[in-house]
Amino acid sequence: MNGIEAEALWLSLSVAARSVVFNLPFAILIAWLLTRARFAGRTLFDAFVHLPLVLPPVVVGYLLLVLFGVRGPIGGWLYETFGIRLAFTSTGAALATAIMSFPLVVRAIRISLENVDRGLEDAARTLGAGPFDRFFSITLPLILPGVLAGAVTAFAAGLGEFGAVITFASNIPGETRTLPLALYTAIQSPDGDALAMRLALISLSLGLAGLLASEFLARSLRRRLGR
């Protein structure tokens, strides 16, 4: 593995890992709201959460650029107040990846929540357990397989995110050039066929390993929880 491949691989792993860290707390909260709460506009909110699944990634990247660019309403405030710049940075690439993979995490956690026996939570309530106690002692352990499966799947999907990243974070060597962007760059080069093939094989291997790990970990946790 040469320097270009190693650099792209490291950036991809870093961006995907940070995207999962961004995702997970919000995904658990949103999945709980969509499963347990009843409020006006719930269907519309559900559709909005899953919108990245059907929108072209370039559209998501463009909207992020409008909102989080240094001249955008959110990005401008972050830059002027805290000196934080997201556009054209690896952190911005992680944000774009997080938004694109967010519905995958929400769906996995939501399925787990729907399979939780509400009677266990009701029993804990009658014994005096508060909402947070019930969630952390009963609900969270039971949905842990879904949380972990969603996180690993989102991580694997994040390794291959292209459209939103290149639009919002650009294709900057050593900063935002992840594996898909490095592959795209190699394809554009007259003598880049060999490099493109190696990058494609690395991406394929990582994606397959991520999916297998997600299934293995989910099954292992279900067995430990007796489900």
**Fold entry, domain 3-34+48-224:** MetI-like fold (1.10.3720)
Question: What is the tens place of the pLDDT at every residue in 138-162?
Answer: 888 888 888 888 898 899 899 989 9
Full-model pTM: 0.88
Per residue in 178-217, pLDDT tens? 999 999 999 988 888 888 999 999 988 988 888 887 777 7
- Domain edges within the chain: 3-34+48-224
pLDDT by 10s per residue, the chain, length 227:
677 888 999 999 999 999 999 999 999 999 999 988 888 888 999 999 999 999 999 999 999 999 999 999 999 999 999 999 999 999 999 999 999 999 999 998 998 888 887 777 778 778 777 778 888 888 888 888 888 888 988 998 999 899 999 999 999 998 999 999 999 999 988 888 888 999 999 988 988 888 887 777 767 766 765 55
DSSP the chain: --HHHHHHHHHHHHHHHHHHHHHHHHHHHHHHHHHH---TTHHHHHHHHTGGGTS-HHHHHHHHHHHHSTTSHHHHHHHHHH----TTSHHHHHHHHHHHHHHHHHHHHHHHHHTS-HHHHHHHHHTT--HHHHIIIIIHHHHHHHHHHHHHHHHHHHTT--HHHHHHT---TTTT--HHHHHHHHHHSTT-HHHHHHHHHHHHHHHHHHHHHHHHHHHHHHHHTT-
